[in-house]
Each structure stands twice: as C-alpha cells, then as structure tokens.
A and B are shown apart, each in its own frame.
Chain A
Amino acid sequence: EAAVTQSPRNKVTVTGGNVTLSCRQTNSHNYMYWYRQDTGHGLRLIHYSYGAGNLQIGDVPDGYKATRTTQEDFFLLLELASPSQTSLYFCASSDARGEVFFGKGTRLTVV
C-alpha cells in the first residue's frame, strides 16, 4: 500500500517564526505535492515537484518555499510564519497515471 508520512503531525509556532514541514513517500513516485486545507475551501495547491531538485509553483505559493531533496523527501518551509498560515497541510504523492496518495496531515497553528 502506498505510504506518505508527514511530520510533525501538529505544530504551534509564533508569528515570525521559522517552520519546516516534512514529507516522505516510499512509493517510488516522481510527483509530490503540498496542499493546505481550510474550512469552506477545497484543498489548495501550494507547491509541487516532478522529481528530486525540481520545484513547481502551485496556486497559493505566497509565503511558502519548498525543496525536494530526494525522490522520497519533500519539505515545505515557512520562513516568517503568519497567522493566515494557520491551516491543515497535506502532502501527497502521485504515480504516472495520476492516482494520488495523501499523508495524514500536519496541523499548523501560528499564534
């Protein structure tokens, strides 16, 4: 079964703080994604990657950086966290056919 593991599962930080969310997939998938989920909205794409060293901008990239260090690992960086970035973050990986597998999510609170 496809596996996508996110860490941490919960994080609280202060405004202006520095946060890194981690994602690892063991599916040998080339494609990985970071989404945020907010009440009343569908999941929104922040950044995605086609492979190690590749980075593509999603639909809501402002305030976020990302880095794909290996095929397995995709990181989301918030260098100056703001309360508007309080959200539930999902990482996902996808096979070539487009079937997507999601992690369990990271709940980030910026106070």
Chain B
Amino acid sequence: KTQVEQSPQSLVVRQGENCVLQCNYSVTPDNHLRWFKQDTGKGLVSLTVLVDQKDKTSNGRYSATLDKDAKHSTLHITATLLDDTATYICVVGDRGSALGRLHFGAGTQLIVIP
C-alpha cells in the first residue's frame, strides 16, 4: 500500500502565479519529511527538510509546512518561474539516521507556462 500520497498528480500554472503542492502520508514513525525537486534527466535535489511536530521552513521562493498530527505537508512555490517546471517529490524518513528507510511519493509534475 502506498504510504505517501501526493496531490495533485500534475499542475499547470502561469509564470508569476503561486502554487501549493500537498503530501499526505501514513508512515510511522515519521522522523522527518523532505521535499525534492527532480528536473528532467537529472537527479533529485533537496529543497527543504522538516523535522518538528509542527514545522515551517522557507528557502527563497519555496516554503513548506509539516503537521505530524495530521501527517500532512505542503510545499508552496511563490511567483513561479519557467525553471520551476519539474517533478516535486515528497519523502518521509522513519529515522534520523542513515539506518532509517525513506518512503517516496510518486511526485507532482509542475509545468510553468509563459
């Protein structure tokens, strides 16, 4: 059974608009949650990591929230650029060390159009 569900599956926005990506999960324990950006033909690049029970992070135009009680995270992208076109992947780690397992969502494909 899929333990990390992302929505929407795909999203098209116009350059300059804001967008919100959702991640719901059932992984237990849920030590941390990461958002990755995957450009076509490239590997996954970490955008942010959330750790606390109710956490918020900000990294330039990317901001994210985590609510461990609801097992829910959001990734906000402000003032989108054409280079934001990519797949965004939510990953839940069950430990805070390399001994833990990572649980991957299938990703949200974001397309930014002029």
Interface residues of A (CB under 8 A from B): 4, 29-31, 35, 40-45, 90, 94-100, 102-105
Contact = CB atoms under 8 A, between A and B. Distances in A.
Given A96-B97, A98-B95, A98-B98, A42 B2 contact: yes
A100 B43 contact: no
A102 B44 contact: yes
A102 B2 CA distance: 22
Interface of B: 2, 4, 32, 41-46, 49, 89, 91, 93, 95-107
A44, A98, A102, A105: most-surrounded residue (chain B CB, <10 A): A98
A85 to B, nearest CB: 19
Contacts of B100: 98
Given A104-B43, A105-B43, A94 B98 contact: yes
B96 A41 contact: no
Contact of A40 (B97, B102, B106): B106
A90 B87 CA distance: 15
13 contacts: A42-B4, A43-B89, A43-B102, A43-B104, A90-B43, A96-B97, A97-B98, A102-B44, A102-B45, A104-B41, A104-B42, A104-B43, A105-B41
